Each structure stands twice: as structure tokens, then as C-alpha cells.
Amino acid sequence: MRIGELSERTGASRRLLRYYEEQGLIISQRCANGYRTYDERLADRVLQIRGLLDAGLPTRIIKQILPCLDKPRDIVFADATPEMLTTLERERDRMTERIDCLIRNRDAVAAYLEAVRDNVRCEGAGEASVRG
Amino acid sequence: MRIGELSERTGASRRLLRYYEEQGLIISQRCANGYRTYDERLADRVLQIRGLLDAGLPTRIIKQILPCLDKPRDIVFADATPEMLTTLERERDRMTERIDCLIRNRDAVAAYLEAVRDNVRCEGAGEASVRG
DNA sequence: TCAAACCTTCACATCCATGTGAAGGTCAAC
DNA sequence: GTTGACCTTCACATGGATGTGAAGGTTTGA
């Protein structure tokens, strides 16, 4: 798969895919003519990267957590330095904080929407419920 | 409460608090001398804003969801235009996506950390567990 | 063989959340 | 009454994720 197809599959621009490579988030093989070639699995990885970026993690951090997600068993024993483990623990905790914050606010938005919906239903039946 | 105190309470720089105001995320009263004065509740709001920003939402979106979180009952009937409701529904769904993505990846990181910890324990007892 | 649709690198542009500093007004304390 | 800690606005700077365009090589198909 070349960069155009990967771009279409993932929704990331070609420019962005080169950027991710530059940042060390993905790797590519090169054809004889210099074109990038990607493994099938890269599509999933790119989507994962975009999800994490979208969730507020910078590439620098994503780069560190990605290796954990490939094939846990094989990589666990690779090069897990104490500093890296500390970083990962901190990131895990920060992710949990983000999750909690997002859940709280999502639920609040959802509650608001439901309240509006219920009220609209009331108004549809009789108007002058609260506002008037 | 003036801007310095709010800054200390929230960890947001004064500059940032002015920026949030400029973006319509918070409001302030002005004293006779032009100084900004803040209501007590603003501290919580600023923390909420920072949480959402940290979770990847841009100010533009935060501005739209914040009104839902104040006093749901009172505001439900304020100015809920159909477009705004659509926007909110979309954002609610995007937040859910973010949450799911973050949970997946956080769990993966956590699983990795546990695997490393278990392996370290093994190695401490007998070495040559998997790698050798 | 020529055009269209790919690809390459390089480099500058943009948006957004912040930092930072200048130039100046206000207030409290010594 | 002057110093220092606060405040104001204005404005330029920065870093990260992207867009965009130029200048040029490659592949594919009419």
C-alpha cells in the first residue's frame, strides 16, 4: 500500500502521514523509486494515533505508548527502562483523569440534551410549562 | 476575587484567564479602576475548562457545551436553537468516541505495565523466563 | 508520446493554546 | 512619596498539528 491509499483509508492527509513518520510514530518501507510502502496493519495504527491525538495526547507521548500496544508479550522484555516505566505510569494516570473529565462532561451534556428533549415534548403538548 | 487569586487557585496564568474571557469561556465584572473581579464559582469553571482543553476539546467547542453545565434546569429553556442542539449531540458523540479510545489505550498501557511488573518478579526469582 | 495521477523533498503558512515583555495605571505599606 | 506588587492593554513569540505550494521524478493509460 502506498501513501495515497493509506491516506484514503485513514482520513489522514499524505502530508500528515509523512509527519507521523518523521515523528517516529509509523515506519514505512521504500520501493526502488523511493515511494513509501506500508504494511496493511499501518491503517489501524494510524487510526489509533489519530484517536490519541484527538484525545489530547501529543505525538511525543503517543510515541512512547505505542510500542506497548503492538504485541504485548513480545515487547514486554525489550527495553523497558525504569524512566520509561515511570513515564508510562504517569501517562496512564493522566489518561484516567482525562477519561473521568470527559465522562463527567459528556454526561452533563447528555443530561442537558435529555432535559431539552423532555421540555420540548411538554411544550408540544401544552406550552407555558416553565418559561412563560 | 481578582485575577491573581483566580490564577493561583486554578493554576492558569493571568494571561490565560484573559484569553479564556476573550474566547467567551468566562466572564468577569470590572471594578471602578478597571480590574477584573471574579465570582467564587469561576474557579471551578476554570478547572473544568482546563480539563476539557487538556482532553483535546478546542475552546470553540467548550464554549458551546459550558452553558449546559451551569444550572441545567434554568438554562434548558434559554436559547436552545436546533443547530445548537445538533452541535451538542455531535459533540456528545465525539466525546464518547474519545472516551472509548482513551479507555482502550489506557487499558493497553496498564496491561503492559502489569506484564512488565510480573516479568520482573519472575526474573527476580529465576531469570531466563522468556527472553533467553 | 503525452497527460493525468501518483510520488518525492523542501519550505513557508496557519490555527490555537500559551508565553513573555513593554508601557503604563493603582494600591498598600513603609 | 516612593517602592513593590498588583492590575490594565497591546503586541509579538513559540510550539505542535496541520495545510499548501513549488519543483521535480514515476507510473499508467489513451
What CATH number corresponds to the domain at position B43?
1.10.1660.10
CA distance B14 to B3: 6
pTM of the shown model: 0.85
Pair A110, A121 in one domain: yes
Which one is predicted more confidently, B114 or B76? B114
A27 touches chain B (CB under 8 A): no
Is A113 in contact with B99 (Cβ distance < 8 A)?
Answer: no
Pair A36, A89 in one domain: no
Please tell me the predicted confidence (pLDDT) of residue A82. Answer: 86
Pair A46, A12 in one domain: yes
**CA distances, B88 to each of A10, A38, B57 (Å):** 25, 37, 13
Helices (H) and strands (E) in chain A, counts: 6, 2
C-alpha angle A30-A36-A42 in degrees, rounded to nearest 5: 110
* End-to-end CA separation in angstroms for chain B: 63
Pair B94, B131 in one domain: yes
Grid cell for residue A106: 459528556
CA distance B57 to B49: 9
**CA distances, A97 to each of A42, B4, B102 (Å):** 29, 26, 10
Is B110 in contact with A92 (Cβ distance < 8 A)?
Answer: yes
Number of domains in chain A: 2
Of B64, B79, B94, which residue is a domain's last? B79
Is A115 in contact with B72 (Cβ distance < 8 A)?
Answer: yes
Residues 6 or more apart whose CB falls under 8 angstroms from that of B49 comprise B20, B25, B26, B62, B66
CA distance A91 to A88: 5
Residue pair B108/A118 in contact (Cβ under 8 Å)? The answer is no
Give the rounded distance of the alpha carbon of B91 from its chain centre: 14
A125 touches chain B (CB under 8 A): no
Which one is predicted more confidently, B121 or B63? B63
Of A36, A54, A79, which residue is a domain's last? A79
Grid cell for residue A17: 502521514
Pair B93, B63 in one domain: no
Q: CA of B119 vs C1' of C14, distance in Å?
A: 47
List the one residue out of A65, A79, A55, A90 whose CA is nearest residue B112: A65
Q: Grid cell 403538548 — which residue?
A: A125
Pair B61, B89 in one domain: no
Grid cell for residue A130: 416553565
Pair A67, A110 in one domain: no
Residue pair A128/A102 in contact (Cβ under 8 Å)? The answer is no
Residue pair A20/A50 in contact (Cβ under 8 Å)? The answer is no
Pair B67, B100 in one domain: no
Q: CA of A21 vs C1' of C16, distance in Å?
A: 23
Please tell me the predicted confidence (pLDDT) of residue A128. Answer: 41
Pair B93, B69 in one domain: no
Pair B30, B9 in one domain: yes
Which one is predicted more confidently, B38 or B84? B38
Q: What integer is the mean pLDDT of A32-57?
A: 94
Pair B69, B102 in one domain: no
Of A34, A56, A79, which residue is a domain's last? A79
Pair B65, B12 in one domain: yes
Is the pLDDT assigned to residue B131 strictly greater than 50? no
Secondary element (H or E) of residue B36? strand B36-37
Grid cell for residue A40: 496493511
Q: What integer is the mean pLDDT of A114-132?
A: 60
Provide the domain limits for residue B86.
81-132
